[in-house]
Amino acid sequence: MSETMAAGPLPLAGVRVIEFSHMVMGPSCGLVLADLGAEVIKVEPPGPGDRTRYLTSTGTGFFAAFSRNKKSVQLDTANGDDVATLLRLIDTADVLIENFRPGGLAARGLGYEELSKRHPRLIYCSLKGFLSGPYENRTALDEVVQMMSGLAYMTGPPGRPLRAGAPVNDMMGGMFGAIGVMAALRKRELTGKGELIQSGLFENAAYLVSTHMLQQAITGVAPPPMAAGKRAWGVYDIFTTSDGVALFVGVVTDRQWTIFTRELAEPALLDPQWASNTLRSQGRETLIPLVQTLLGKRDAATLEALCETAGLPFARITQPGDLYDDPHLNAGGGMLPLTLPDGRATSVPALPLQFGDTRLGVRFDLATPGQHTAEILGALGPDPEAKRRAASG
């Protein structure tokens, strides 16, 4: 498959990445780099490979979602000869990414301190639960840091913390890892040296709630959960149409309110008590039932056409599977073809990036365990130290 785009080569073409990863955070980092053109070589254990391949329930889609455009090599980090081969492979790389427990790879001689002495230009990205500090050796999960950061508190209804409906910290933590890698590649152009990059789940969750923290710092009042309905805007809710469709409508500026009231032509909305966003926000307990009554007289298609023509934010409430039929995502490369391990064809959303008129595509489908072992390791040539190790063993 092509490694170029309409405007020329892919941005990270020529960059080699070694990926030691499982689950979501590490693989999502590798995915960003791979889609941008890097050669990402995923190192899997012998036999069935990465256990993420075989997760069920909410983990069923993890491997398929984050493993396109990657090559697979199988080597055993507990085997001395395989570790020697890994070291030779890493010598050819620009970047190493990993998201295993703290110290896990270092115990096998594959930590940053050891590798940087051997390969000073190597950029080593560790994706962890916590950055440096009192928590750095704790084990973390996306749900753990959502609870710790207040994100779950802000998501659920009062008194019922609820994790977000996707692994947002794992995926964003991987994204920030990729940003760090790209920044380190640029810095290496200037210094000639690689460095250690770390991305943390907890710190990512704290970043996500930073607006709520500053709201409290500015007002002196702790913000209530988002589900409590205390919005900064008067109309920013889900309404039920006359044909039973749940439709979100947002009116977030005074200009939008003017358009909204003009298009609806409902005299009740022209009352001076709704004249500014501040008044509308303060009067939500009265305003929202009124708007529901007025919107509830119209069907969904009518309201959608009204909002789209007027430039007002709106959305039907859908399920993730509905996106397979979304006309916008299916236009212009927004959905990428993917072959599942059982041979079935499906598709997956592309990275939310566009270069000019071009979206990033698929160069390699999902690799089978060890599919590229012979190709990658064969290119390394014979190991000059193999005979010495055999003799000493």
DSSP codes joined into one string, 257-301: HHHHHHHHT-GGGGSGGGSSHHHHHHTHHHHHHHHHHHHTTS-HH
**Per-residue tokens: 360:** 């990033």
- Annotated catalytic residue within 35, 50, 142, 170: 170
Per-residue confidence (pLDDT) for residue 392, from 0 to 100: 62
Q: Per-residue confidence of the chain (393 residues) as pLDDT tens digits?
A: 456 565 679 999 999 999 999 999 999 999 999 999 999 999 999 999 999 999 999 999 999 999 999 999 999 999 999 999 999 999 999 999 999 988 889 999 999 999 999 999 999 999 999 999 999 999 999 999 999 999 999 999 999 999 999 999 999 999 999 999 999 999 999 999 999 999 999 999 999 999 999 999 999 999 999 888 677 888 999 999 999 999 999 999 999 999 999 999 999 999 999 999 999 999 999 999 999 999 999 999 999 999 999 999 999 999 999 999 999 999 989 999 999 999 999 999 999 999 999 999 999 999 999 999 999 999 999 887 765 655 565
Per-residue confidence (pLDDT) for residue 102, from 0 to 100: 86
Cβ-based burial of 173 (10 A; exposed 0-12, middle 13-18, buried ≥19)? buried
Neighbour count for residue 308 (Cβ, 10 Å): 10
Place of tokens 């594959």: 110
Neighbour count for residue 262 (Cβ, 10 Å): 11
First-to-last C-alpha distance (Å) of the chain: 44
* CATH code reported for the domain at 4-208+328-392: 3.40.50.10540
Per-residue confidence (pLDDT) for residue 1, from 0 to 100: 47
Q: Cα(174)–Cα(168) distance, rounded to whole angstroms?
A: 10
3-state secondary structure of 240: strand
Q: Which residues pair with 70 in a beta bridge?
A: 40
Residues forming CATH 3.30.1540.10 domain(s) in the chain: 231-320
170 flagged as catalytic? yes
Q: Is 132 left (phi over 0), alpha (psi -120 to 50) or beta?
A: beta
Residues forming CATH 3.40.50.10540 domain(s) in the chain: 4-208+328-392
Alpha helices in the chain (DSSP H): 25-35, 62-66, 80-91, 112-118, 142-149, 151-155, 168-191, 201-208, 210-219, 254-264, 277-282, 284-295, 300-310, 373-378, 386-392
Q: Cα(161)–Cα(222) distance, rounded to whole angstroms?
A: 15
CATH of 231-320, one of 3.90.1010.10, 3.40.50.150, 3.30.1540.10, 1.10.10.10: 3.30.1540.10
What does the DSSP 8-state code read for residue 100? S
